[in-house]
Structure 1
Amino acid sequence: MSALTSMRKSALIASVAMALIVGGCSSKKKSISTSSHNGAGYASEQALMESVTYWEKRYKSNRNDRDAALNYGQSLRHVGRIDQSLAVLERLATQASNDKVVLAAYGKVLAAKGRFKQALVVLDRAQNPTTPDWRLESAAGAINDQLGNFDVARSYYDKALLLAPGEPSILSNYGLSYLLEGNLPSAESYLREAAKHPKADSRVRQNLALVLGLQGNFSEAERIARSELSPRQAEANMAYLRTMMAERGNWNKIKKKKRS
């Protein structure tokens, strides 16, 4: 392999995005609900910042406004201001300790902060056992993946799929679970199934491109990557994935599989 080809492939892998459900599982419309990923696509950076500005004004005018605090906290999480989001939602969760919608949002930002075990406890409190929310099941699965509890994570995805059969975001998370474990063929299988769904969004296709690239299928991966997120966003997501995998040695495992 020439140096140019090697550099091209490295650049391609760095350009493909991956984002777990925990970090971006909410609808990013101006009036942000606490529903997890809804398959409706993702707003532009400008729209996200406009959302932060809008809800910040509402929140500052009345910090006890539940809806303003909830949406402001989620808007902050969507633009990566995790510490600030955590402060807002933690305060709100203290005030509304039995509000399952608030608890769901609080659990997600705890996960984004890396407080995974606490996040699982909070998300469990947010779940309604009589009418369970597939989004929370999927979020709990993603957190367990980050803890390295892959079998536990997939049991949550199985529960989520029973509640929402064929939901592409769940299938995508299933694929990412196998990716983090180092099982690329299984990851590709789930991600291809997810990408075929009419509701599949940009992130599902980016995840598929990532897995294809890691297996050496660079032509298809590059074609998908070029149609998706900006290079800056893609590089940030890829860096996050590499950090997660390096912590458990899985990144080296995948590199060895690619060389074999």
Structure 2
Amino acid sequence: MPKHISLISLLVVCSLWNMPKAVHAQALVPHTLQLDAENLERQGLRLAQEAAQLGQFQQFELALPRAKLASQLAPNNDKVWFLLGGLHLQTKDFEPAIAALQKAQSLNPENTEVVFALGSANFQQQNYQAAATYYQKGLQLKPDNPQGLFDLGNAYYMLGRLPEAIAQYNKSFSLDQKFWPAINNIGLIKYEQGDIENAIQQWRSSVNIDKQAAEPLLALAVAMYTKGERQQALSMGEAALSIDQRYASLDFLKENLWGERLVSDTEKFLALPRIQAALDQQEN
């Protein structure tokens, strides 16, 4: 048997091979193919469910083959293609992610989650204008989506459209006043603009919402240290890094949209002996 034969074809052929012989066998073929197609789709949906569960535990090497096979067995199910695209997106395999998501969108143009995911895929590839277009399209379908508004704000931020970015962040926060990332990112913009007091205000508000949020706590520590409030800043910095040590990485900060001024000040802050000692202690 040729190696390139599809599994769907193989399963259909096997089912036909095992059929009992009948004088009028041809009359039964369409009905049998229909039943097989339904059965294959059910198998595909079961595989998709398994893939989704594995993806939740970040077992992508096990999840992806199941999702790929599910997309072959249930090729007209937009949720299966969305799952496959999402898994590729999680592994930063952007080309197949976008292909799968576009397939999902073609099957169901009203699926807002797919549109937002296409925005995310383009954003991660630094295609910020394309990302903004997808986010805008998603918000046309679902205008009161705090995450979508926040994501559009991020796209505007990276495009240098700062007043529009702040407007989107404010809309996002107005819809969900526990969503601290929106006002945290207003702080990022204000700091780059030299408005340190306003940035501090945004980060204080973020920390008051979630005291375990490492990002605004570290940003607040850096801003306060730069202002000269050093002892309190050092304590805050130690606390932030004990919550999430990833923020000691400048690359990680840039991935989270920290601007040049804040990154530069954070680099100096992280080099302080007390902060270095705290990081060394965590590693040991």
Q: How far, CA to CA, are the matches of 2:116 and 2:172 in structure 1?
A: 15
Q: Is 2:89 the counterpart of 1:74?
A: no
Q: How far, CA to CA, are the matches of 2:96 and 2:223 in structure 1?
A: 35
List gaps (5 residues or longer) in structure 2. 1-50, 226-232, 270-284
1:145, 1:180 within 8 Å by CA — same for their partners in 2? no
Quote the offset at 1:140 in angstroms.
0.6
Does the C-alpha gap of structure 1 residues 110 and 160 become closer, same or farther in structure 2, counting only changes over 3 Å? same
Q: 1:221 — aligned with what?
A: 237
SS at match of 1:49: coil
- In terms of Rg, which structure is larger? 2
TM-score (norm 2): 0.59
Q: 1:245 — aligned with what?
A: 259
Identity score, percent = 12
CA RMSD in angstroms comes to 3.4
Quote the offset at 1:230 in angstroms.
4.3
Q: 2:198 — aligned with what?
A: 186
Q: 2:125 — aligned with what?
A: 113
Q: How far, CA to CA, are the matches of 1:56 and 1:252 in structure 2?
A: 36
Does the C-alpha gap of structure 1 residues 119 and 201 become closer, same or farther in structure 2, counting only changes over 3 Å? farther
Instruction: Kindly indicate which of the two structures has a greater share of residues assigned to helix.
Output: 2
SS at match of 2:201: helix
1:49, 1:79 within 8 Å by CA — same for their partners in 2? no
Q: Is 2:73 the counterpart of 1:59?
A: no
Q: How many residues align?
A: 205
2:241, 2:247 within 8 Å by CA — same for their partners in 1? no
List gaps (5 residues or longer) in structure 1. 1-29, 33-45
Deviation per residue, 1:116-175 (Å, 9 max, x gap): 111111111112467521211111111111112111111112222222234223222322
1:171, 1:190 within 8 Å by CA — same for their partners in 2? yes
TM-score (norm 1): 0.64
2:203, 2:219 within 8 Å by CA — same for their partners in 1? no
Tell which has more relative contact order, 1 or 2 (C-alpha 8 A, sep 6+).
Answer: 1
Quote the offset at 1:225 in angstroms.
0.8
- Pairing of 1:45-194 with structure 2 (within 5 A): 49-50=58-59, 52-63=60-71, 64=75, 65-128=77-140, 132-194=144-206
SS at match of 1:62: helix
2:128, 2:159 within 8 Å by CA — same for their partners in 1? yes
